[in-house]
Amino acid sequence: MNEHGSPSTPATVGTPALTGLSATEIDRSCRAPLLVLFVSAALWLLVGSVFALIASIHFHSPGFLADIAWLSYGRLQPAGTECLLYGFCIQSALGIGLWLFARLGRARLAQSLLAATGALFWNLGTALGLGGILAGDRTGFVCLDMPGYAAPLLLAGYLLIALSSALTFHHRTERSLFVSQWFLLAALFWFPWIYSTAQLFLVTWPVRGVAQAMIGWWFANNLQTVYLGLAGLAFVFYFLPKLTGNDLHSRYLALLTFWMLLLFSSWGGISQSAPTPAWMPTLSTAATVLNLVPLLAVGLSAYQTTRPGSSPRAPSLPLRFVLFGVVAFLVAGLMQVLGVLPRVCEITDLTWFGAARCQLHLFGFFAMTALGAIYYIVPRLLEIESPSSGLVRAHFWLAACGITLVVVPEALAGIAEGLKLQDPNHEFVEVMRGTLHFLRVSTLGLLFIAGGQALFLGNLAAQTFRFSRSRAATTYAEVTADLFKIVEVKP
């Protein structure tokens, strides 16, 4: 019997039954480090959303906060991106991964103090790096803008959390590997490899010439497409069956997705207009087009797992986040494939179209999927219900509408911009001005996103406060119980 109460073999299920240790015991072992990771991730997500909002306002109101150097566009835009990537995406991936390793392995979290210490190091490194960016000390590489002195803290924090994850996986009592564990293990080792390599060749001992740009593209593509793709799909393949009550449609489609991501997605990221030997953009284009295979596999697997009529119950709130993330993953993947085709690339390359795809992948796919997972996990960690389903529902609609209002206008702006740039009769300044009305709409979308993240942080803080208050009241009652006992005096 699987976790959903239906007989199945490990070849067709995505989650195991919990025997031996209870789910409550496992969740309690994860409580401290996961609370640190999730609350910190929620805070950085809100900060990054506010930074992105202010940076967007600078496009159509250049005088806004123009007298404050550290709030200029050149500093806020990379700071917002790093907040999203390192403050929220990677940190939430580590936290959810810890929980999944414990749950799927039916084991307590190993060395929880080690994981909590790693979370503190990670947040200290993130704060130090963002402070450096706002002070004007940045590397200039996309997704690697933090100065070099933040890297040792980030790597130390990551390795401590990864060690806790590896030990938990080693001590698992369920020896069969499930789909999500494949993705999580690959992601666990992928990030330190690409991050240390990029730091070494771009910051510590920088290479020369066009090799810098090539390594920068390689790192950005591997971080966003491969690492976050592996982690996000691990969540999808666990939570879709879990929240719908159905078995995962096909383990083999999931494993096909896994191998295609590792073998081909890591070769993408080099534009047709890149100043490199011709074979490099060609190879990158071919590898990116092959991403159609994992896209079809994920779409088919998700549809068959959640197909209409397969589950009589209404979608839960966490499931809505995960389903939105799946749709965003498919659309962002199609945009990436279309964007590398030569005829399309001539129009969309170096325009807002690429920014729209990136926003959809980060905010729409990974962030929404991770938010759904966190909304499911936190009440079980704290053994309390969510304080307000209305706040969660409002967060979903604000985030969904905000992402739509950001991605669609920016994609349209990129297409319009590219078409006008093909016409020599349009001046460059005129082309840029033509995108302003699209960017005003995207600014409204970022405002919605920031409002949704404020609700998320408030919801998480309210749950943590309720738990802390309950624990304090229980501890006080236990300590003072003897003080109010009536002592019988024997005659």
17-52 pLDDT per residue, tens: 445 678 888 888 888 899 999 999 999 999 999 999
| pLDDT tens digits along 114-157 | 999 999 999 999 999 999 999 988 888 989 999 999 999 999 99
**Among 10, 422, 411, 58, CA closest to 182:** 10
Q: Decide: 95 and 33 in contact? Cβ < 8 Å.
A: yes
pLDDT score of 350: 83
pLDDT of residue 276: 81
As a whole number of angstroms, the distance between CA 286 and CA 148 comes to 34
CA angle 277, 283, 285 (to 5 degrees): 110
pLDDT at 5: 35
pLDDT recorded at residue 101 = 94
CATH 1.20.120 fits 18-176, yes or no: yes
Q: Give the integer Cα–Cα distance in Å for 376 and 154.
A: 27
Tell me the chain's radius of gyration from C-alpha atoms.
24
Distance from C-alpha of 314 to C-alpha of 323, rounded to nearest angstrom: 13
- Number of C-beta neighbours around residue 188 at 10 A: 22
For 52-72, how does the pLDDT look when each residue is reduced to its tens digit (9 = 90+)? Answer: 999 989 887 877 877 888 888
Dist. CA 32–CA 381, nearest whole Å: 9
Decide if 408 contacts 359 (C-beta within 8 A): no
Note whether 84 and 45 are within 8 A (CB): yes
| Rounded Cα gap, residues 468 and 84, in angstroms | 28
Residues 6+ apart with CB under 8 A from 36: 116, 119, 120, 123
Instruction: Collect the ranges in the chain with pLDDT lower than 50.
Output: 1-18, 310-312, 487
pTM of the model: 0.89
120: Cβ contacts below 8 Å, ≥ 6 apart: 36, 157
List all residues 6 or more positions away from 227 whose beta carbon is below 8 Å from its beta carbon: 90, 187, 190, 191, 194
Determine the pLDDT at residue 358.
92
* Average pLDDT score over the chain: 86
DSSP 393-412: HHHHHHHHHHHHHHHHHHHH
Q: Cβ of 156: how many Cβ atoms within 10 Å? A: 16
Tokens of 415: 């297409």
Helix, strand, coil: what percent of the chain each, to 5?
A: 75, 0, 25
Predicted pLDDT of residue 312: 46
pLDDT tens, 259-291?
999 988 888 888 777 788 888 888 888 888 999
Query: Residue 265: what pLDDT?
Result: 87
